[in-house]
Amino acid sequence: MSAIGSTRPSGDAWVVAPDGRKYWGRFGAAGLLVHHPQRGVLLQHRALWSHFGDTWGLPGGARHEDETALEAALREANEEAGVPAHLLQVLFTSVFDLGFWSYTTVVVQATESFEPVIGDAESIALRWVDPASVDSLALHPGFAVAWPALRARL
């Protein structure tokens, strides 16, 4: 699922909350939590210049207009980490909804092992991490809040 040739308007812009906090994605955002039974979960070390840079989180980003959360999560994970959609089985989704903005975590299981590949400047590194070790990393604040409930459902 590539944005190349897409006629959907990009959601790449900030949404500012009434309290001044900023959220990325005019149409919301989505991320992909890839789980492989032997390798763990795939995490992205975010570029220093990005929002909450130098933290670990999920490949993901702004949704395009009329793009589903699943479409956005798969597109972003492919662009940022080379995640092959054909090797994934959707397990569940988790939505953080503020009314004016939402973030959907799409949780998938990899049906085969694959090596992630940095596909753009948004990543410093990509790594398979044992779920028991995720909390030892400097996590993106939103992912840090969501992780305990996501882990319990894996």
pLDDT in tens, 78-91: 999 999 999 999 99
Which pLDDT score is estimated for 61?
95
Looking at the domain covering 26-153, what would its CATH class be? alpha beta
pLDDT of residue 74: 98
- pTM of the entire structure? 0.91
Average model confidence (pLDDT) for the chain? 93
User: What residue segments make up the domains of the chain, in order of their start?
Assistant: 26-153
User: Rounded to the nearest 10 degrees, how much is the dihedral formed by the CA atoms of 30, 35, 39, 42?
Assistant: 10
Residue 142 binned pLDDT confidence (cut-offs 50, 70, 90): very high
Cα angle 97, 153, 94; round to 5: 15
Please give the Cα distance from 65 to 98 (Å, whole number).
18
Tell me what pLDDT residue 9 has: 77
Q: Distance of CA 104 to CAs 12, 27, 114, 121, 142, Å?
A: 16, 11, 24, 23, 11
**What pLDDT, on the 0 to 100 scale, is given for residue 7?**
57
